[in-house]
Structure 1
């Protein structure tokens, strides 16, 4: 039985583009991380090489942080399909640069850091455009299932990509980047198959004013604010992605071949969870279940940090991926259903900024912490901190606990803020 959203041709093309771009991105990311750490270890200690992994996250975050407010306005103002196509074209360029540099033997840390910065630019515009485009392709009642399927595409790509990247890298280092280039080209074709969609109407005003309104909407809506910031701080403190090359090379001692399964394990757990939700969506006590999932995420992170056994490490990574997907599914559904279409690009930009802050800055935090106190202490401490943050957020944002179902009324039209001195 084909899930209802995939019966819609436009959403099917979107889903294929999402899947193939994620495979290409993940195949690149695992090789970039390995090459940065491997090149650094030729002349550096474990701590200094981990510090380089932290810098990679920071280099990706800086352009994303600077551009995300603008990218949200762009996603609401311009045709979201065109923005998505331009983003994939930039990612194609990144893959091609790394392919040529690796093939010719000219690869270096400056090239890897430069491409990482370009990927940060691409992600700044990709998140708002793709996040705001998906709800335009399906009826409102199918949106939670469409979000689950979109997450399935991303997580499936996150499983296939690292394994594919590792296998192709073992064959010859430049091959993974060549295949990524081809996959990005296919994704671009899929995006061109999406027909025109209804454009949201934005009230006239200066671009800066429109951007600020998006952030103001998030600040005023405590449910949206609580959901976004919970993810930000939990993953910022509990993320383990940056430490995987360290664990593969120097703690679990499984090398580059073992790194692929480690990188894919969280996505495997997340994919199975997303597939389940695409057929059996959550219907009751969604807020409490989201908070419980983040606690499980933190606990699995801490156990992974302590593990010296490869298969236990894989199991914990799969569990934290499943818990993260559980939380993501509920959070994204609540955010999309509580946001007017004319604001979705800017609210998606705020969500993208939070997600990227948690991911890229999380990599920076874990890399820098590992350089100071060691990778094990940094990972375990991060998992415990994620649990503490969840308990604090459950108290600070009771709106999260009170969110019972997804059966919400249509979001109210955007209201302009009352001018200072108004009645």
Structure 2
């Protein structure tokens, strides 16, 4: 019965907002392309150098452009037509996949050309993120916005689950990365074509000249809106402290004794939990006590992290990781709703750019924090301490940001 109702809701959204469907398909193709590509890049780089450090440098090469460009990208998202920027970004992703394919077919004996392409990929990502998030409210009315965000998350999580598996299988079947880059190129191109077909309502925005004042406006706005500041900073510290996923290879090999197949299942579990929770929210949107729900779910994220850290059973570990993904998805959806509902359209690009840099920093620094505490205290204590830290942060934020705890219901996005 629930599945039937979800199907009806899907048909209603699809028939009412065809441009939203095109946007979701474009995002699915893009995430599928980048996830497949990431697997191929990782294997190819390690085959060339045999140095784990270079794998870290690949991630760094993609992350650093966002640090330097997020002020510019957020300002661009608020000044120029967002659909046009999205098309350019998708063409940029397609160019990156095509470049990797071209370099591979020519024969690669050095990783530096791959690093150059990943830097370009990081530049494109730094613009695509805030533009995509700011563009979504232009595709759907306020009454269906929460459902649209949930389906948006389902599409992304589905691609996150499928992409790495498909990329690894294709890499193994064709004995090299060329076939993976070909599929990534095709998927990114399909995403670009879907974006071209989108027809979005145009909200007139003032073309503010680029200056330090306008570029930093996102920071100033977040600081003045305690609801947004509280939700973003809560997610930052929760992910920073609860980054158990970074230690999954060690758990799979040393603690759960499962090998590579077990690692693959463990890595897929959080995304599966997130996709399931997003589907449930799409079927039954969050109602009253939204802020308290977010706080309880962040606390649940910390508790599930502790259970995973103490587990010696693959089944219990998988259940814990499913709960990690599910509770995190509630936090992600609520945070995005807080941002989109409370932020005027002319500020959404800059505010989303700041949010994305916080999220990126928490993911990257969370991996570093997990590795560092594991080096100091051991694997299990590091994960358990991270979960306990998440619980402590949740309690502190509940007291220091009463706006989070007292928020009852979300309304339509700001015009």
Give, in angstroms, the shift of residue 343 of structure 1: 0.9
Aligned length: 404
User: Equivalent of 1:164, from 159, 166, 170?
Assistant: 166
Specify every segment of 5 or more residues in structure 2 that has no aligned partner in the other structure, as ranges: 1-7
SS at match of 1:395: helix
Partner Cα separation in structure 1 for residue 343 and residue 329 of structure 2: 21
- Tell me which residue corresponds to 1:90: 92
Q: Is the 8 A contact 1:27 1:165 kept in 2?
A: yes
- Tell me which residue corresponds to 1:6: 14
What are the residue-to-residue correspondences of 1:222-301 with 2, within 5 Å? 222-248=226-252, 252=256, 254-301=258-305
User: Equivalent of 1:355, from 337, 354, 359?
Assistant: 359
* Residue range with higher mean Cα deviation, 176-185 or 102-111: 102-111
Partner Cα separation in structure 2 for residue 246 and residue 112 of structure 1: 27
- Tell me which residue corresponds to 1:29: 38
Specify every segment of 5 or more residues in structure 1 that has no aligned partner in the other structure, as ranges: 44-48, 414-423
Partner Cα separation in structure 1 for residue 259 and residue 102 of structure 2: 25
Distance 1:368 1:57, change over 3 A: farther
Distance 1:117 1:262, change over 3 A: farther
Give, in angstroms, the shift of residue 137 of structure 1: 0.7
Give, in angstroms, the shift of residue 245 of structure 1: 4.2
Partner Cα separation in structure 1 for residue 68 and residue 78 of structure 2: 18
What are the residue-to-residue correspondences of 1:22-421 with 2, within 5 Å? 22-33=31-42, 42=50, 49=52, 54-100=56-102, 106=108, 110=112, 113-171=115-173, 172-174=175-177, 175-202=179-206, 204-248=208-252, 252=256, 254-370=258-374, 373-407=377-411, 411=414
Give, in angstroms, the shift of residue 122 of structure 1: 2.3
Give, in angstroms, the shift of residue 95 of structure 1: 2.8
Give, in angstroms, the shift of residue 347 of structure 1: 1.1
Give, in angstroms, the shift of residue 369 of structure 1: 4.4
Partner Cα separation in structure 2 for residue 277 and residue 29 of structure 1: 29
Partner Cα separation in structure 1 for residue 341 and residue 151 of structure 2: 16
* Residue range with higher mean Cα deviation, 233-242 or 65-74: 233-242
Q: Is the 8 A contact 1:297 1:319 kept in 2?
A: yes
Q: Report the RMSD for the aligned CA atoms in angstroms.
A: 2.7
* Residue range with higher mean Cα deviation, 165-174 or 128-137: 165-174
Q: Deviations over 1:193-245 (max 9, x none)?
A: 11253144126444332112221111100001111111111112212343344
Give, in angstroms, the shift of residue 18 of structure 1: 1.0
Give, in angstroms, the shift of residue 333 of structure 1: 1.1
SS at match of 1:106: coil
- 1:16 equivalenced with 2:25 (yes/no): yes
| TM-score of the aligned structures, taking structure 2 as reference length | 0.87
* Residue range with higher mean Cα deviation, 25-34 or 356-365: 25-34
Distance 1:241 1:209, change over 3 A: same
SS at match of 1:405: coil
- Tell me which residue corresponds to 2:4: none
Distance 1:92 1:39, change over 3 A: same
Partner Cα separation in structure 2 for residue 36 and residue 16 of structure 1: 30
Q: Deviations over 1:319-347 (max 9, x none)?
A: 11111111111111121111111111111
Q: Is the 8 A contact 1:166 1:256 kept in 2?
A: no
* Residue range with higher mean Cα deviation, 382-391 or 306-315: 306-315
Partner Cα separation in structure 2 for residue 200 and residue 320 of structure 1: 40
| TM-score of the aligned structures, taking structure 1 as reference length | 0.86
Q: Deviations over 1:120-179 (max 9, x none)?
A: 322211111100111001112111111111111111111111221222232133133322
Distance 1:255 1:366, change over 3 A: same
Partner Cα separation in structure 1 for residue 41 and residue 247 of structure 2: 13
Partner Cα separation in structure 2 for residue 108 and residue 295 of structure 1: 45
Partner Cα separation in structure 1 for residue 312 and residue 44 of structure 2: 24
Give, in angstroms, the shift of residue 73 of structure 1: 0.6
Give, in angstroms, the shift of residue 318 of structure 1: 1.6
Q: Is the 8 A contact 1:218 1:224 kept in 2?
A: yes
